[in-house]
Amino acid sequence: MDIITLIKALVSGLLDAEEEFLKHLDTFSMFEESVRGLTNQMAADFIGLALSNADILIRESG
């Protein structure tokens, strides 16, 4: 997985959440939770990706 894949997944999720919210304007709290969950997942995935890259560098450094 790379950063572009992470960004695409985030944007897709955000757009889906927005679409759902605009259909049901009375569900703002659900919309907010969805956005927070998506951004938290993106952050966690990005940190995982960075740690994996750091692990590779450490292993290759001998």
**Distance between CA atoms of residues 28 and 43, nearest Å:** 22
Contacts 24+ apart (CB under 8 A), 47-50: 49/1, 49/2, 49/3, 49/6
| pTM of the model as a whole | 0.84
**Distance between CA atoms of residues 44 and 19, nearest Å:** 24
**Distance between CA atoms of residues 40 and 10, nearest Å:** 10
Question: What does the block give as tokens for 52?
Answer: 């994996």
pLDDT tens-digit series, residues 23-60? 999 999 999 999 999 999 999 999 999 999 999 999 99
